[in-house]
Amino acid sequence: MRRSWSLVDLSIHPVDIALREPFGIATGAKTAALNVFVRATLADGSVGWGEAAPFEAVNGERREVALHGIERSRDALLGWDAVAWRTLGNRLRELSPESPSARCAVETAVLDAICASLNIPLATLFGGTESELESDLTITTGTADRAREAAFSIARQGYRTIKLKVGGAPLDADLARVRAVHEAAPSCALILDGNAALTADDAVTIAEECARIGARLAVFEQPCARHDDDAARSVHERARVMVCADESVASARDVARLARAGAAQAINLKITKSGVVECYDMAVTARAHGMALMVGGMVESSLAMSASAHLACGVGGVEFVDLDTPLWLVDEPVRAEMLRDGPRLSIASVARGHGARPTDGWLASRGGVA
Ligand SMILES: [Mg+2]
């Protein structure tokens, strides 16, 4: 007989993690990660952890909203049988429509607990295809000199791809930053991320500058406004560059719409934006439309990033891996079994679930787990 997967407890733990430097994107900057850890316990004693990482500058979501959404979900889900995990994302969307990060935290914790009960890594639940990934490293918004320094350091650490945040600045400043990054790291491929802040004309100009100086532009992520499919298609057609949707895509339904519109040739999967199972459905839908996949995140600790790595390894063949934000955190209070060696991530040694949880010291400092 199956062991009981009835959800018996969901504990909620706000966590403030300082950043080494502000994480700037076109629409704003983050100076601390004000996140939430969630622990799910099933009736058979299996425990799992999840993380909410709201990022107001990306989608307007604040931690208070996430906390409220998690509390509401907890009250409705206690006693629910997690054997129906495939439907949990939809249930959470009804319970907490305003907080995708709350949905992500609860779903990740439940899936982690299920995998603990089954004694399998989370990646196995999604296909178990791979155990290694190669991540890029991000250069946030700022000056050309700062971008040059960062690019030099990133290339020296062995990274082969740099994600450069553009937009929110005069066009000339972004062109100077592109040139600075390419001069400092000429062998690195570039991912440009406009965070929905560029006009199509400016995005095309930046892409053309990459071509002029010989920089390899692998993909242009969300150059234009979230709902402007015409602008995204225009950038793709005029600059002959692969466009990756991020802010424009949060569901499998969005993926199909973008494919029909010719407005994206790749999509960025983020569990904090869409939930874990929805990300899996988005990956399958994208594949059916011949689109490439990126896996990324908000400003997350190694807890949510471990879950994302498992999703990517489970699906397999994810072309662009952007799982770098734990490197921005000062003393993240997380013990993760996923190994990080420069750009290389490995989940090969993770036996159960996503293999990450808050440290005992941090939990003790908070009075333990209630
Ligand atoms: Mg993005």
- Distance (angstroms) between ligand 1 centre and the Cα of 64 equals 23
Residues 105 and 235 in one domain: no
Same domain membership, residue 175 and residue 34 = no
- Give residue 2's pLDDT: 60
Listed in sequence order, the residues at least 6 apart from 104 whose beta carbon sits closer than 8 Å to its beta carbon are 50, 51, 52, 53, 271, 272, 273, 274, 275, 276, 304
How far away, in angstroms, is 325 Cα from ligand 1 center? 12
Q: For the chain, report the end-to-end CA distance as a whole number of angstroms.
A: 30
Ligand 1 centroid vs 350 CA: distance in angstroms? 28
Separation of 147 CA from ligand 1 center, angstroms? 18
Report the pLDDT value the prediction gives residue 297, as an integer from 0 to 100: 93
- Per-residue pLDDT tens digits for 49-79: 999 999 887 778 899 999 999 999 999 999 9
Whole-number pLDDT of residue 283 = 98
The reply to whether 366 falls in a domain is no
| Tens of pLDDT, residues 129-145 | 899 999 999 999 999 99
Could you tell me the distance, in angstroms and rounded to a whole number, from the CA of residue 29 to the centre of ligand 1? Answer: 13
CATH number of the domain where residue 24 is located: 3.30.390.10
**Phi, psi at 48, each rounded to 5°:** -140, 160
Question: Do 85 and 168 sit in the same domain of this protein?
Answer: no
Closest CA to 41 of 86, 72, 77, 92: 77
User: 217-276, pLDDT tens digit by residue?
Assistant: 999 999 999 999 999 999 999 999 999 999 999 999 999 999 999 999 999 999 999 999
Distance 159 CA to ligand 1 centre (A): 19
- The mean pLDDT of 150-156, rounded to a whole number, is 97
Distance from the alpha carbon of residue 364 to the mean position of ligand 1, in angstroms: 35
Structural domain harbouring 68: 7-119
Task: Output the CA 221–ligand 1 centroid distance in Å.
Answer: 6
Residues 196 and 87 in one domain: no
The CA 165 to ligand 1 mean position distance, Å, reads 8
**CATH label of the domain that carries residue 261:** 3.20.20.120
pLDDT of residue 370: 53
Distance 106 CA to ligand 1 centre (A): 23
State how far the Cα of 241 lies from the Cα of 207, in Å rounded to an integer. 8
Task: Using a pLDDT cut of 70, give the percent of the chain over it.
Answer: 99
Cα(193) to centroid(ligand 1), Å: 6
**Angstrom distance (rounded) from CA 265 to CA 129:** 23
Choose the final residue of a domain: 104, 119, 134: 119
Calculate mean pLDDT across residues 23-31: 83
Tell how far the Cα of 349 is from the centroid of ligand 1, in angstroms: 29
d(CA 370, CA 366): 10
Sign of CA dihedral 73, 78, 80, 86: positive
Cα(9) to ligand 1 centroid in Å equals 34
Cα angle, residue 136 at apex, residues 273 and 242 outer, rounded to 5°: 70
The residue with tokens 């790595």 is 309
Expressed in angstroms and rounded, the spacing between residue 287 Cα and the centre of ligand 1 is 20
Q: What is the pLDDT of residue 58?
A: 78
Confidence of residue 314 (pLDDT cuts 50, 70, 90): very high
Q: Is the pLDDT of residue 295 over 90?
A: yes
User: DSSP assignment of 95-155, as one string?
Assistant: H-TT-HHHHHHHHHHHHHHHHHHHT-BHHHHTT---SEEE--EEE-SS-HHHHHHHHHHHH
Residues 181 and 312 occupy one common structural domain: yes
Q: What are phi and psi of 356, to 5 degrees?
A: -130, 145
Strand partners, 220: 192, 243
